[in-house]
Amino acid sequence: MPIVNEPSDQARPRKPDWLRVKLPIGEEYRKVRGLVDNYKLHTICQSGNCPNMGECWGAGTATFMILGNVCTRSCTFCAVKTGRPNEYDADEPRRVAEAIFLMQVKHAVITSVNRDELKDRGAEIWYQTVVKTKEMSPQTTIETLIPDVKASWDALEKMVAGGQEVVSHNMETVASLYRKVRPQAKYERSLEQILRTKDLGKRTKSGIMVGLGETKDEVLATMDDLAAHGCDVLTIGQYLQPTRMHIDVAEFVHPDIFAMYKEEGLKRGFDFVESGPLVRSSYHAERHL
């Protein structure tokens, strides 16, 4: 991944008290960690340095990441490794399904890296993972957090055809910051992907980060765009810099602003808005079902 910040000794914004999290401990945390390790699975919780890993794993839930842990994109906010991925594992869908069954989760979240080098963008593995999970755990609801398919709409149809209840695709940021934050993505294309997902009959969801240098008006405009493109559920959380090689935090947004964003989102007709400093796209994902 290209270096976007040169390490320096300059003073950086101090993380406020409302962003403090507990270290991961407890029996349920160890159980989930053991299942992930034993089944040789990847989770966005680990690969993305998620601040909520201790809370979620301690509650017996995790967000599984399929198609490997190396991404073909180089987004400047993301801790997932960038490069040329290895060949995908065709047996991965079975192993994910078995882990979800053993965890006995009521709501499973599945995501993936971008696999732009694959003609189908990994759609077949997506489809098989959802189908096998439903076969083994028919009472489990599933949310799939899918990547940008680069307008490969046949791949999108395959990805969402397995029977999952929710399909999420994150906008991540406002339009003016796309070149800086998501250099290989396009704002309008992601909106179109959400609209096409809605047209396929799925409950749709998206998430954005704040604290990257956006204005409040830009956040509200992004809400308007998402509402106009059929998005049902919205999450808003604070961007946290994974390493000094990633884009800097421009601002730590106060919880009162997050509360305002939630109120504004509900005014715009979203079914559910999760907005707070530690919110991530899969945080408390079961609540809106």
The pLDDT value recorded for residue 31 is: 64
The pLDDT value recorded for residue 285 is: 66
The pLDDT value recorded for residue 213 is: 97
| Ranges under pLDDT 70 in the chain | 1-13, 21-62, 282-289
Tens of pLDDT, residues 55-101: 554 454 567 889 988 999 999 999 888 999 988 899 999 999 998 88
Fold of 20-288: TIM Barrel (3.20.20)
Sequence spans of domains, the chain: 20-288
Tens of pLDDT, residues 160-194: 999 999 999 999 999 999 999 999 999 999 999 99
How far apart CA 109 and CA 276 sit, in angstroms, is 20
The pLDDT value recorded for residue 44 is: 47
Look up the pTM and report it. 0.84
CB 45 within 8 A of CB 11: no
Q: Residue 115: name the closest of 80, 161, 143 by CA.
A: 80
